[in-house]
Structure formats: structure tokens, C-alpha cells
Structure 1
């Protein structure tokens, strides 16, 4: 801002001040009388006004300079950001993999991928992590924090990625499809694991027994068979469970929830896998085949148990009597002989049964159902095992051989009772008179006397 000119007239002095920065004309007119004293006073006021105007002009110039500097810096920053987005300013490049970064600090953090450095350690369990964010997420395992909640069903997750995957359950989005069988999955990792069904790959092997698994989680759960660890406890009945998923399924025994229903027959199941296996009873599908004898099974667990016929392996042993079993379920049912537990009751006669499978077989007494028929003589049986034993009448097979005298038997139970002849043991005792017998049949005959 500056004084452009001063015009003197007889009666007054007119001062015109122009602000060049704003391009606005400001006019001030000072009326001056011709008295000497007043004229001098007014002239002094004019000088002071002129001085103030010039000072203001200098301040405005400094202010404009500072604004200009800031604008220059802002433009510079903006161009840097644009350069980062377009990738033109990635100055820091990893010499090992060629990946580029816009900041040296990001390159330093990236190098931990190659060096294996894990500087962030959990103070509770000692586990280490490459990034501080990973440690933060890991801590939620100890605190139980689940900050990411599904707005549709209310289920919470410790990681945002898990919530994102979960949302596909509601949207029915299955973006990853198997090229061999057409089955679709919501998550890429699920497809990767599924492909092992076709390839037969089982990369996770137990170091104690050599059993292999397609999924790492299954190996972790399997290891608890050897360690006896059951870290998950039911809050309602106090039962200890080896796996988190098993605990969730177990809870349905208290709630009665069966969320998985067969669309063909209406039967419901507590577990998705049980429904999947059940559907094979409608389709007749048996995808698991024994490579030694060609026999097929609807469930992989049945194939694993079947393979023990060829290997002779019986990994499940009773700690009380030493009897071994090929299947864990058989050991569980057997243990009830020692504990006297019979948790399953018949709705028709009220009889308590030790096993669920035994209850199913028992129900055939009331229904008269005999679904297992001999193809040679037409005789039918309520239980598959009875048909299997019966077939030895036609084949003459006696697979159970006494190692002491060489006698053969059609049933394992007969061999066990036969061994009492050699040992002198009499395990079957009358509850009324206390008399003991070598064979169960002898005890039955004796009981008729009472």
C-alpha cells in the first residue's frame, strides 16, 4: 500500500491512498482550514498516517512472502505424494527381492522377512513376531479381546481379516473354485487344503506315531492323544475337551442345537461334517478307498481304522485291563465295562446302554429290523458284525489263532475265553453264590439254576 499523490487546493488537501495488493481505491479527504496552527497539526497527522500506511505495506509484503513460502512447501509435499502413488519416487530398493519403498524405515522393516528377525516378543508366552502389529493381534489370544463384530449375527473376531472371511457366510460368496470337482470355497486357504484330497498330500506328520494329516490343526489336535492334553473345559459340566471346535460341538449337547439339516430326509446334525457324511447314504458315494484291498468307505476315519486290519495296529489301550482297540470309540465304550456307565437309555424299555451304536442296534429288537442279510443262505442279522462272523460258517475261516496250542476260532471273544484254559483264569463270577467260570456261556447256564 502506498500514497499515490497529494493534491492541494485553496480550501482543502485531498489525499488518495491506493492498495495495490487488493487493487481497491481508498479515498480519504482531509478538509484543512488556513489557520497556521491547525494546518501544521493536520500536516503532522498526515505524515503519521503516511508512515503507518507504509509500515502496514511492509507487513503485508512479509505476510505475502510467508504465504508464498507455505504454498511452495504444500505444492512440494503434494507432488511427493503424487510421486509415491505413481511409484516414481521409490528410492529404497531391497537388494534381495527387488521390492521398492518410499521410506528407508519401511525397507528396514521389510528386511526382517529375509533375516528372520523377530524383535517383538510376547511377555506372557515368549512367542516372537516380526511386526508390532502382529504382536498386538497375538495379545488378544491372552486377553480374549475380539474387537471386530459381525453386524448380522453378532459373532466377534480378534482379527479384521477373519471377520471379512466370515461375512462371506452371509453373502454366500464363494470366489475360490476347485477346477477338478467344482466345489467352491469362501477362502483361498480352504481351497488349498481341499486340493490335498485330490493330490493325497499330507504334509503334517506326527513325530511320535508317523500319522500324517492334510491340515496343521488336525496334527495339533492329534498330538493331544499322545500328551493327554485337554485345554478346553465345558463351563456347564466341567468336561475337558482336547479342541476348541470339539468344545463348540460339545456345547450343543447342552443346548440341543442341531443346525445342519438334510434336505432329503430332514435329519439334523450338530456338526457340518456329520451332515456331509450322512448325505453319502443318499448318494452312495464312498470316496475313501483302501489301496491294499480296494474296499471303499464313506468316511476317511473309517478307512484309517480299516487300514489297521492290514497293519495289525491297535493304538488305543485300556489302562485297566490292557485290552487294545483299533478305534478310539471302541475303547471309550469298553471303558464303561469298568466304570459301569450306561449313558444311553432305550425309550421303549428303559434299558441303559453303554454306547450310542449299541443303542441303535438294541432298537432293532423293538422294530424287528434285520438289515444285514447273508447272500448265500438268506439269514438276516441285526448287526453287521454278526453277519461277518456268520459268513465264516460258509468260508470256514478261523482268523483268531491261539499262539500256545494253534487252535483257531471264528470270533475274538472265543479266543480270549479259550486262553483261560491255558492261564487257569476264571473271570466270570456268579453275583449270587460267588462261583467262578472260565467261559461266559458256563456262567449263563449256571444262572438258570438260580
Structure 2
């Protein structure tokens, strides 16, 4: 008797044929479910055709007889028409053909998949540590040519990435992305000890010295100590009067880059800091902190002469000037 469902031209007993039909039908049902699951992938029509070349090429059937039941179990293996690799289930063959047809390449070390061998080759240097691209000026080496090209802007001074909000330019795209949090106010890195938040992980690491009490950088002019060399460098401008940060729109100069960033809100009108109580917005975090005391009633600034308290430091400063004027 011939199995008419799939076109196999083998001879079976009635019992064998019934078993064959059940195996074929259950396989087709499983395959249809896989088609639905992977519906976003367009596979070769031969894979979904019951009369496909895949089954025609793989017409070998392995029969094993049971001594107890004397019934033959039929096991059919599907093979890939491209490489000949065999699979027990159509789902496995389907996924194999998808990878083959899309020409995907997998990293043997971590399993990450790439669409081109060139991408895989570049990625492999992550595991090997190979850095074939060297800077002709300083000799620093890189694993990818794009990283070398980005590095070269350090020597050329080229700044191709500009902030659309304030016009400040950067040599690296990552530097621009980091800068954008100045406008958005987003600070994703939080100190586990005091809860203070930072928009850069490097700033958080520097901040941790505050809790450790480690301040190895003293000012030679006034003796004030700092936890990081960068803080000392910024402090020195108090003594030198240097203001290296200039506004590209109005020319006003600042001693700190953060002061320039705050100033840019004057031109853009952006107020990224919002009060959670009333919704009022501010261009600076310090202004928001001062405003919050309106809701809390807190007055943290105390006059040392009369112990009068103020919500804002500016009010305390005005009060002190008044006392000095009256005393004179």
C-alpha cells in the first residue's frame, strides 16, 4: 500500500501506514504552529510545501521493530538541501535555513550574531585583545578603525558634533550625548550613601571621595583641599580670574563650564527643573531647591549676628549688607 498523503513510494502494512499518517499529520501540525510563531521571517516556499524537495531528497526511513509489539516505528530525518545537515524536526530545519539564507555569522566565544563576516572579525578582537589600528601621532592603538578616526579629532581639534539646543560642539558623539543631560536634567547615577545623583558615572566616582574624606589636592595659595585634581584646577580660576568658557551667542565668559551651561538657558528659555508640588519650572537646580522651601517652610540660612533665618542665601546676603550699613 502507498502513502498518498506525502507521496512516499514505499510499501507498508495497514498498521505501518496508519502510523505513518499519524506521524506525518502531527509533523505538519507542529510545523504550522512554527510558521505562526516565526511569521516575520520569509522562508523558502519549499519549506512549507508538503511535496518539497527537502522530503524528496531525504527519503531514507529507519525502521526498528519491537520484540513485544512487533510494530515498526518509522523515523524520518529532514536534511538541509544546501549543506546536508540533518534534523529530526521541521522547526529545527526551519531555523537552520533562516540562518543560512540570511547568511548570519555567530561568534564562537560569546554566541553574538552578525550579518557579515567583517563585523564578526571586528567583534572577535574584543576576545583576542588585538588592536591593529595605531595613531600615527601618539601611537595609541585601537581595535577598530572607526575608533581610531574618532581619536584623531583629539589632535586635529575638529568638533563635528554640535548641540542643537546651545550650539556647543564636541569631538565625540558620546560626549554630545553626555552633554545633553545638562538640558534634560536627567541624572541616572546615584550615590548609595547620600542619594545625590549625577549625569556621569565618573562624577559619581569623584563624589565618593567626599564620603571617604580623601582630599589629596591642596591649593598652594589658600590651602583649600579638593578630592580631585579637576576640582582644584577649577578652583584656581578664583585666584587667576581666568574665564575660559565663552557663550557663543552673547560672548559672556565664565570660569566654569557648568556656569556656561546654566547661562545658556537664558537664550534657549529652557527650564528643565520642575517643582513636584506646584509644577513651576526653573533653569537651575539651585533655584528649584530654593523654591521648594516655599512649600516646606524651611529656612536653612541663618544670620550669625541676630539668628534671623532665611529661605534663600541671597536674602541672607542682603540682610547682612543692611546690618553692616546700619552699623557703620
- In the superposition, the TM-score normalised over structure 2's length comes to 0.44
Compare CA radii of gyration and give the structure with the larger one: 1
